Amino acid sequence: MSVSKEDVRNLLASIVLIALIVFLSILTYVNRPEDVSIQGQVIKGYVLDFNGVPVDLDDGLDIGVITTQTGPYGFIGVEAIKGFEIARKRVEKDLGIDIRLDYRDSQCDSDMAVLQAASLSESSDFMIVADCYKNQDYVSGIDKVSIVLEPYYGYGTDNQYFFNTAPGAEVAQLFDSINPDLESLAVVFSDDYFGHEYKDKVKEEFRKRFSREISAYAYDVGQEGFVRIASVIAKDKNSAVYFVGLSEGDILHFLNSLRTKGYYNQVFTNIAINPSSLENADPMDVEGLIMISAFNPISSRSVVKEFRDEMISSYGTEPSLQSALSYDALVSIANLQGKDALGELVRTIANEEGVTGLFTMEEDHLQKTFYILTVRNGKLNNLD
């Protein structure tokens, strides 16, 4: 069979075309960017910041933290930092992401906080605020604010999310759960820490509940203030007191002052006392106390036990509400990495399990179930 010159030319053209295709395919594979998907596997992960700009996780995450570490409210920052550090270790171990936390002490001073925020905006991918209430006004002006850990009254901006429940939410759940018949109620704030807007919101929740005006007091922190307000309450013989404190130390001082002045009616408070602190308290002071808390220190859940063990091992102290919230906040941010614009996803956190329990971000505050605890025979128990 003879082969024509035209057949030869066609065959050669086909061979050249196939060779060219193979060559281009090899060249394309060799020059394939590292950060594209190959057979469904992402070679390089990204997390998008609030402006939709990718943050290279190979270089880790730089997170700025503004908090109060000194002065009367310094314990807030001290406790929050404990939670952040334990969370950082977990994230680096479980997700392989290098987390760099830059802590700045605002000293509970607005001018200082503004300067610190401006500096962190230049050097951080995200920011977390765990500051005193006096600095709440500057928070809304920071473009990179991601998470605010204080229960400020108000709504966040497009870049701002309150990693806490809305003011008054614990009040509603407490009295929905126990439905007490109270003749009179005094609401006491440990000092002026929360600010007038927050206090007004909480008192409004009480007024809706009891359909009457309530007594409300605020006083400066310190033993003298506790004694003075306890004298007023004991004299008025209110059937119950709801005490909004900042720390378990506030609660124990306040209870002691109340009992010393002869007040033995019902007392409610917003923070759970750790079991070890109860051991050193006067049993008469704490017996029957009812606590509504976003963190349950006696929870049997494994995540809480592990967190508690790590706190005791690292710092020699049991977890506080501040350390538990900061832990959950940082772990939640890390868990959102590589998905989409972080600012949008913060709003869609749903049924995430943290050491504070299951929580969902709706609008600008967390929605979660609180824990109601009481003291019986000197021991902390869940309220049945």
Q: What 8-state DSSP symbol labels residue 269?
A: E
* Chain Cα centroid distance, residue 221: 24
Shared domain check, 183 and 281:
yes
What CATH number did the domain enclosing 192 receive? 3.40.50.2300
CB 161 within 8 A of CB 147: yes
Label residue 299 exposed, middle or buried (CB < 10 Å: 0-12, 13-18, 19+).
middle
Residue 42 located in a structural domain: no
Q: How confident is the model at residue 209 (pLDDT cuts 50, 70, 90)?
A: confident
Q: What is the pLDDT, as a whole number, of residue 136?
A: 61
Residue 7 located in a structural domain: no
Q: Over range 211-220, report the average pLDDT.
A: 71
Shared domain check, 284 and 307:
no
Dihedral of the alpha carbons of 74, 77, 82, 86, in degrees to the nearest 10: 180
Percent of the chain with pLDDT over 70: 73
Distance (Å, whole) CA 172 – CA 282: 30
Instruction: Give the number of other CB atoms < 10 A from CB of residue 285.
Output: 20
Read off the amino acid at residue 170.
E
Shared domain check, 174 and 159:
no
Contacts with 249 (C-beta within 8 Å, 6 or more apart), sequence order = none
E strands present in 144-239: 145-148, 161-162, 185-189, 215-218
Would you say residue 339 has pLDDT above 60?
A: no
Measured CA angle at 193 (ends 247, 62), to 5 deg? 80
Distance (Å, whole) CA 200 – CA 123: 37
Least Cα distance to 269 among 280, 237, 288 occurs for 288
Residue 112 located in a structural domain: yes
Shared domain check, 173 and 155:
no
Residue where one domain finishes, among candidates 293, 318, 343: 293
Structure tokens at 34: 């590292």
Shared domain check, 131 and 173:
no
Distance (Å, whole) CA 327 – CA 259: 35
Residue where one domain finishes, among candidates 293, 325, 353: 293
Q: What is the pLDDT, as a whole number, of residue 34?
A: 35
Residue 237 located in a structural domain: yes
Residue 374 located in a structural domain: no
366 three-state secondary structure = strand
Instruction: Give the number of other CB atoms < 10 A from CB of residue 57.
Output: 17
Domain interval for residue 221: 169-293
Instruction: Give the number of other CB atoms < 10 A from CB of residue 113.
Output: 27
Q: What 8-state DSSP symbol labels residue 166?
A: P
Shared domain check, 175 and 275:
yes
Shared domain check, 286 and 173:
yes
Residue 22 located in a structural domain: no
Q: What is the pLDDT, as a whole number, of residue 87?
A: 94
Shared domain check, 233 and 119:
no
Would you say residue 83 has pLDDT above 90?
A: yes
pLDDT, tens digit, 9 for 90 and up, residues 2-52: 545 555 455 444 443 444 333 334 333 333 333 333 233 333 334 455 455
Would you say residue 341 has pLDDT above 80?
A: no
255 φψ region: left (φ > 0), alpha (ψ -120 to 50), beta (else):
alpha
Over 122-153, what HEC string results?
A: HHCCEEEEECCHHHHHHHCCCCCEEEECCCCC
Number of domains in the chain: 2
Shared domain check, 182 and 150:
no
Shared domain check, 175 and 249:
yes
Q: What is the pLDDT, as a whole number, of residue 221?
A: 55
pLDDT, tens digit, 9 for 90 and up, residues 247-282: 888 899 999 999 999 999 999 999 999 998 998 899
Q: Over range 123-139, report the average pLDDT.
A: 74
Shared domain check, 209 and 279:
yes
Q: What is the pLDDT, as a whole number, of residue 124?
A: 84
Residue 72 located in a structural domain: yes
Instruction: Give the number of other CB atoms < 10 A from CB of residue 347.
Output: 14
Q: Over range 70-82, report the average pLDDT.
A: 90
Residue where one domain finishes, among candidates 259, 293, 327: 293
**Terminal Cα distance for the chain, rounded:** 98
Q: Over range 232-240, report the average pLDDT.
A: 87
Shared domain check, 159 and 306:
yes
Residue 359 located in a structural domain: yes
